[in-house]
Structures are given as C-alpha cells and as structure tokens.
Amino acid sequence: MGFMMEDLIGLNSTDIADMPIVLGESTAGNLLQRATAANRQLSVMGMHHSQGGHAMLSGASLLITETMNKVEVFQQSKTVKCGAGATWTEIHSAANKHQLAPCVQQSSAHFTVGGSISVNCHGRDPRFGPIAETVVNMKVLAGDGQVYFTDRLNHPELFKAVIGGYGACGMILEATLKLTDNKMLSPNSHVYRNLADYQQELQALAARNDVHIHYGWLRCTNANFFDHVLSVNAIEDQGGYPLTDTQLNDESWGVGEILRAGWDLSRTDPYFKDLVWRELEATQGSGSNQSRLNWLRSSVSFTASRGDDHHVDILQEYFVPLDQLATLIGTLKTLFTNNQVNVMSSTIRLVRPDTMSNLSYSPDSTKLYASIAVDVHVGVITHGTLRTLDAAAENWILQSIQAAIALGGSYYLPYYKVADRALFQRAYPAAGIAAQRDAIGSYNGGKRFWNRFLDAYF
C-alpha cells in the first residue's frame, strides 16, 4: 500500500510504494535484489530539495540516503571521503578540525553530497567550476546490480554520466571530493548601474585569485527592476592562513532581522521589496570578516515557502556565455515586466566550463559562463490532489528558457519542469545526451533506478 508524496514546496505529488532507509552498500544491494525480483523500480532521495519531482517515481520505492553519512577527512591530500547521504553541514564539522572547507557547494549547506553530485551543483567561488571539477572518485551501485569504483580513468563513461545525471545509472554510495583551505574572508561590495560594467567585472574576476566568494544581486524592486547589480566579493585576508577549528555559525542568513521580516511581506507589498533591497545594499558588503566555512552556511529556509492554496515560491536558473549576460538580463527584464512576474530575488554567478559531465550546462571549454537564478512567487492551480503552476507561470518560464537557449545557453535542471524533451535537446549538447543514453543502456538498462526527471527526458 503506497502513499502520496510531494516536493518540499508542495508540488509534483507522486504515489510512492514505500520509503526504505539505506544504511550502506549491503542494504542498498539487498533492496536492489528485492526490487529486481519483484520487478519494481527504485528512486533515490537526498534531502529532497529539488523542485521537479526528480527524486520520485510513481509506484517506485523511494530510498532514503541521509543515514549514509560517514565523513572522513584527509588533511594531507585535502580530500573528504563521505557517504552519499552526508550533508555539507556534516562535512563542515569534520573539515573544520583540519583547517579545510568544501571547494564547491551550493550557497547553503542543507544538501547531500549525492544530490549535489547528481545535479552537478555550482557554488559561489569564482575560482572553481561546477562540483564535477572536485569529484575525485565515486562508488556507485548501478542498476545492473554491480558496485563500480569510478574516476576519470576507471569507467570514465560512468563517471561522466553519474555527475549531473540525476540518478541516471544507479545510486552513488560514496564519493571522495577535493577540499580547500578554510581561510578568513572579508566582504566588499559595489553597486553597478551599468550592466556592461558588471559583465566586465565578472570577466576580470576570472583572472583573480584573491576573491573566494562572489555573487551579484540583481535589483528586483519595481523602480530600476533588473537595472542594477549589487556585487559582493569575499576577499582573502592579506597573508591569510588556514584557520583551525573556528566557531561555526548557526546557519543563519547573516543579515538583519529587517530582511527576514521584509522578505515575507515583499511577496505582496512592493514597499517591502524596496526595504529588502535597501537592507541588502546596507549589509551585504559590510560586516566583519568570516571564515570560508561560515560563508558557506547561509540559510535559505525563510525564503522557501510552500505558499498558500494559490501561490508558491519557485526557483529557476539560466546559464549563458558570459559575453551574453547583459543581453539576457535585458530580455528577462522585458519578459518579466510584460508578464508581471513577481521576482522575489535574483542572483548572478560566474560559472566556469565543465567537460566532466555529459549533461553540462557550461560545456565549451573555451568560454566563461554566467548564471542568473530567480526566486519567484507564482500562482498554482489545484486539480484534485495535484498542484501545478498556473498557465501564466508556465508561459514565462518557457519563454525565459527559450531566451537563454537563443543566446547559446541553457536552463538548470533541478527545478520545476516546464521544458519538454525537444527543448531539453536544444539546451544540452547532443553528444552528451547520446553518451548519457548509452551509459544508461550499459549500466541501468532495465531502468531499475529511475525517477520522474529521467522518465521525462530519457
């Protein structure tokens, strides 16, 4: 007897058979054997933050992995070996004792390593590309029942299919990732009123080694909507040395209470959006120095809302070659204004090329890319137990994806799915999609590990 399960924001309701807890390799192997005998499919869940039903499949068993959270740090090689269910928060605690910190992770620490590798997440350190660059090796239980050790030399086709593969070939059991020094970083900010100047700053940033965190906030208030960027850099302290066992902040946002309260109200009142922006400008570039680990611990929980019966907050993100960034911002500005899209916040990052994953969103090794993420308050409609975005939201999402593709870019895959298979095939490299299909055929031919994302696009 199954039950209905949704994404954390209350969308993509799916009938799940059951939710077994995976303790490690042997439980996972047994569950796979039983599923094969019963001809049942398995899907795998990290912390369940993706927003398109990616971790679920109708009628399948949903494997819980957060119990696979063993973490071992190796100071000399600056690496961490961890269970796929370990979260960044757990890695921070262990790495902190060795003066180390993740090279690449999301802007906050609530995600699992398995979920982060499976989406090929990107972080805010402009010196690194997506997480693919920092994966040393992985142990994977494939759909064919075998456990594979894979790295750039061993089963390289599996390595490239698992990173950013959304569980395509099987379940990641364990991964070894590169770490970097945990140093003290000082904030510094600048408001760019000319987007071409900001684009140039990103270009210059790529050649710098002292900026260890960068992000740009695109202004979302009614006045000057998408016209200004508040650029924030966290710069290595002069003579910075690795820190030993620093105090780890509670994973707070790190800015004033005005922002916290204003955010909620700004969903419906433009006055509070202005207030949030003024608070961001006043606080983001100031404040005291913080360790890298604390820069990696912002909480996003108060920005994520399941909404009411009629609304929800969703994320979407677009990638374009860096030289097209200002053009994409201009196109999105017109699109969002014409469609009265309620953008709550929008951030920009530098994205380096990645050739280590088949489904790469920055595939050209000769180019730098930029990403624009938007957090948007949208309408939902309810059909029985199912909640979907309303037609207006689906329409602007589709148009924004088409705009990114027209500029040689793509869209990020872990969010609410609007793009169909044809659009996916225009956004991602044809050779990569073909290699992904081949790898699925070789390692997971019976689709024993499967989910809604794979079902839609493969």
Ligand X SMILES: Cc1cc2nc3c(=O)[nH]c(=O)nc-3n(C[C@H](O)[C@H](O)[C@H](O)COP(=O)(O)OP(=O)(O)OC[C@H]3O[C@@H](n4cnc5c(N)ncnc54)[C@H](O)[C@@H]3O)c2cc1C
Binding stretches for ligand X (CB under 6 A) = 43-50, 54-55, 65, 84, 106-107, 111-112, 114-116, 118-119, 121-122, 166-167, 171-172, 300, 304, 315, 414, 451, 453
Closer to ligand X by Cβ: residue 60 or 95: 60
Kindly state the smallest distance separating residue 418's Cβ from ligand X, in Å: 16
Q: 3-state SS of the chain: helix, strand, coil percent to 5?
A: 30, 25, 45
Cβ nearer to ligand X, comparing 52 with 429? 52
Instruction: Please check whether residue 69 is in contact with residue 90, taking contact to mean a CB–CB distance below 8 angstroms.
Output: yes
Which helix (DSSP H) or strand (DSSP E) does residue 374 occupy?
strand 369-383
Residues near 62 by beta carbon (within 8 Å), at least 6 away in sequence: 5, 16, 17, 18, 19, 42, 43, 44, 45, 55, 56
Both tokens of 95, joined, read 């790495």
Which residue lies nearer to ligand X by CB, 99 or 107?
107
Alpha-carbon distance of 277 to 149, in angstroms, equals 48
Q: How far does CA 378 lie from the centroid of its chain? A: 20
316 or 324: CB nearest ligand X:
316
Q: Which is nearer to ligand X, 99 or 353 (CB)?
A: 353
Q: How far is the CB of 64 from ligand X (least distance, A)?
A: 10
Q: Which CB, 113 or 243, lies closer to ligand X? A: 113
Q: 303 near 8, Cβ under 8 Å?
A: no
| Least CB distance to ligand X at residue 356 (A) | 15
Rounded least distance, CB 366 to ligand X, Å = 23
Shortest Cβ 219–ligand X spacing (Å): 20
Residue 44 or residue 177: which is nearer to ligand X going by CB?
A: 44
Token code pair at residue 74 = 């190796």
Residue 442 buriedness (CB in 10 A; 0-12 / 13-18 / 19+): middle
Q: How far is CA 221 from CA 166, 225, 297, 337, in A?
A: 35, 5, 26, 11
Instruction: For the CB of residue 244, give the shortest distance to ligand X in the complex, in Å.
Output: 27
CA distance 83 to 396: 39
Residue whose beta carbon is closest to ligand X: 115
CB of 303 to ligand X, least distance (A): 7
41: its two tokens: 């499919």
Pure H helices in 52-208:
88-96, 113-119, 156-162, 195-205
Helix (H, G, I), strand (E, B), or coil: what is residue 52? coil
User: Shortest distance, CB of residue 245 to ligand X, whole angstroms?
Assistant: 26
DSSP state of 180: E
Judged by beta carbon, residue 243 or residue 440, the one nearer ligand X is: 440
**Closest approach of ligand X to the CB of residue 338, in Å:** 27
Q: Please, which residue, 104 or 243, has the CB nearer to ligand X?
A: 104
Q: How far apart are CA 422 and CA 33, in angstroms?
A: 35
**Least Cβ distance, residue 194 to ligand X (angstroms):** 26
The rounded distance, in Å, linking the Cα atoms of 111 and 152 is 24
CB 445, min distance to ligand X, A: 17
The nearer residue to ligand X, 52 or 243, going by C-beta atoms, is 52
Report the Cα–Cα distance between both ends of the chain, in Å, rounded: 28
> CB under 8 Å to 456, separation ≥6 — which residues?
417, 421
Question: In terms of CB distance, is 84 or 312 closer to ligand X?
Answer: 84
